[in-house]
Amino acid sequence: MIVGVAQQMLLFLILSLVLAAGSSSSSKGSFEVRAKVLSGWPETPSAAQSLEWIRDVDSSQASALLAQLARGGSLESAAEDLLISSSAKTYLELVVRNSYYSPRIESSRSLERTDRQLYGSACSAGTAWALLWSSSSSPSAACDAAALRVLLKDEPRGNSSGFARAPRDLQLRPDSGKGVVVLYGAVSASGLPSLSPLLVEVESLPKASSWEVLFRHADGLSGAEGLGAD
């Protein structure tokens, strides 16, 4: 019994010395801990992250930014124009670096994958496309600007039956209560070449047009953005 108590006291003494040594070393110098969160979805482009940040500041500015991209503008320069103070620029860099908007963007991309499987399987993977909802029983897909131009000429006459809005849809043209055009595309260097021509087509719509236009994020070209680094 005495031996058991002595062993416990010795163990307690050893643990006390270890803890004291650890406390002493931590007071002399700090150590750095780094962590990286790996998501189960493709990496979200920094340009798409910037767009979402601008949308939170002013959704109309985000719509104007996409319109500027359609005219050949640079997302980086357009974003810089909106950031007046250095603190805002620093905050944006922090948000983008930590992929703050990655879940929101992935939520939008998941909608695109479903719609592509159901209605846009004929469109090339990784490229922007459009889905038009009107009074017909099923939507019409446009895989490029030429096809979209043809479909836009047919003005919607009734409600966009079957279309379900998403909370984070970015509105590019106001709701008319009739037809809806959903543009799916990746806001990235690899995605803009196919997205910009579609943006040009909806920008060219006359003011009297009844088409509402929404934007949703989509997957880019396979491997172009990387995987799981958010």
| Residue range 51-91, pLDDT digits in tens | 998 898 888 888 988 888 777 776 666 666 666 666 677 77
pLDDT of 229 > 50? The answer is: no
Q: Of the segments 2-11, 18-27, 144-153, which one has the largest average pLDDT value?
A: 144-153
Contact 105, 43 (CB under 8 A): no
151 has a pLDDT exceeding 90: yes
Q: Nearest 5 degrees, angle CA 178-CA 219-CA 192?
A: 80
The token pair that represents 143 in the structure block: 């895989």
| Lowest mean pLDDT across 45-54, 104-113, 152-161, 164-173 | 152-161
Lowest mean pLDDT among 5-19, 58-72, 79-93, 129-143: 5-19
Higher pLDDT: 189 or 2? It is 189
Phi/psi-derived region of residue 166, left when phi > 0, alpha when psi is between -120 and 50, beta in every other case: beta
When pLDDT is averaged across residues 86-97 and rounded to a whole number, the result is: 78
Q: Closest Cα to residue 181, out of 157, 198, 193?
A: 198
The confidence score (pLDDT) of residue 25 equals 46
**Mean pLDDT of the residues in the chain:** 81
Tokens of 98: 């930590």
Q: Is the pLDDT of residue 170 over 90?
A: yes
Whether pLDDT at 24 is above 70:
no
Mean pLDDT of 188-198: 93
pLDDT (0 to 100) of residue 202: 96
- Overall size of the chain counted in residues: 230
Find the mean pLDDT for residues 109-138. Answer: 94
Reported as a pLDDT band with limits 50, 70 and 90, residue 46 is confident
Residues 140, 214: Cα–Cα separation, whole Å = 15
Using CA atoms, how far apart are residues 139 and 131, in angstroms rounded to an integer? 6
Question: Which residue did the predictor score with more confidence, 209 or 22?
Answer: 209
pLDDT of residue 10: 45
Contact 187, 55 (CB under 8 A): no
- Name the E strands within the chain: 129-133, 140-142, 170-173, 180-185, 212-217
Identity of the highest mean pLDDT range in 19-28, 73-82, 107-116: 107-116
Helix 192-203 and helix 145-152, axial crossing angle in degrees, nearest 10? 20
What's the rounded mean pLDDT across residues 7-26? 49
